[in-house]
Amino acid sequence: MTKLSVNINKLATLRNSRGGNVPNLVKSTKDIEAFGAEGITVHPRPDERHIRYQDVSELKDVVTTEFNIEGNPIPKFIDLVLETRPTQVTLVPDAVDAITSNAGWDTVKNHDFLSDVIKTFKSNGIRTSIFVDPDVNMIEGAAKVGTDRIELYTESYATEFPTDPAASIAPFVAAAHAAHATGLGINAGHDLSLDNIKFFKEHIPHLLEVSIGHALICESLYMGLENVINMYKHKLV
């Protein structure tokens, strides 16, 4: 069964829009785990427009499942991860002004940088994952920098899926086979939803984990958080 990690950034965005502490991220995290999620994902950005660095510090002793911290490995982020020591760190090449993640790493061009960062995290017992496009060359590059896993950036799949499911999934199937052949674990995320997650799961071999936030929270506005989490889990079996 593929694990579901719930990204709680959107809950932080809602809280920040009003000030105060509603919704309370500590309580929300405990509830999400109680509802069946196998992991919690946070993605702090330098401007702290949703998850704040202080949130991560407060959550490190709360999360009882897998804790996944995503972000661009700038010095402040690296320090936060080393202080928190999550189960997994996912490296994402975010520009400072990016609204959301919009590209995977060029693992060839950034080989030396990624190798150094990954070595630091792994020496501290933190599993590493790299956000990549479904490009076999980039996946082979990821294997060479020493990462444990890749996270397939699935926006193109989600965009194409409604009109051509077979075409939308094809590059991801090839990417998954390439990753498995090099010994990399396979995660996935970005714009996955209840509409497209089952097809993705059925066609991607060796899929260990998906990280879902925006769609899951939006769907929960209509159907309830507990219901939606279990709907995802049913589709990921």
**Catalytic positions:** 43, 70, 190
Q: Collapsing DSSP states into helix, strand and coil, what is residue 92?
A: coil
Q: What is the pLDDT of residues 122-139, one digit of tens each?
A: 999 999 999 999 999 999
> Taking a C-beta distance cutoff of 8 angstroms, is the pair 43, 16 a contact?
no
Q: Give the contacts of 197 (CB within 8 A, at least 6 positions apart).
A: 210, 212, 232, 235, 236
Report the pLDDT averaged over residues 85-93.
Answer: 97
Residue in the block written with tokens 């991607």: 204
Q: What is the pLDDT of residues 163-194, one digit of tens each?
A: 999 999 999 999 999 999 999 999 999 999 99
- The domain spans of the chain are 3-129+190-200+207-235
Q: Collapsing DSSP states into helix, strand and coil, what is residue 90?
A: strand
Whole-prediction pTM: 0.95
Q: How confident is the model at residue 95 (pLDDT cuts 50, 70, 90)?
A: low
Four-residue CA torsion sign, 23, 29, 33, 36: positive
Query: On the CB side of 38, how many CA atoms lie within 13 Å of its CA?
Result: 13
The CATH homologous superfamily to which domain 3-129+190-200+207-235 belongs is: Aldolase class I (3.20.20.70)
Q: What is the pLDDT of residue 94?
A: 77
Report the pLDDT averaged over residues 223-236.
Answer: 97
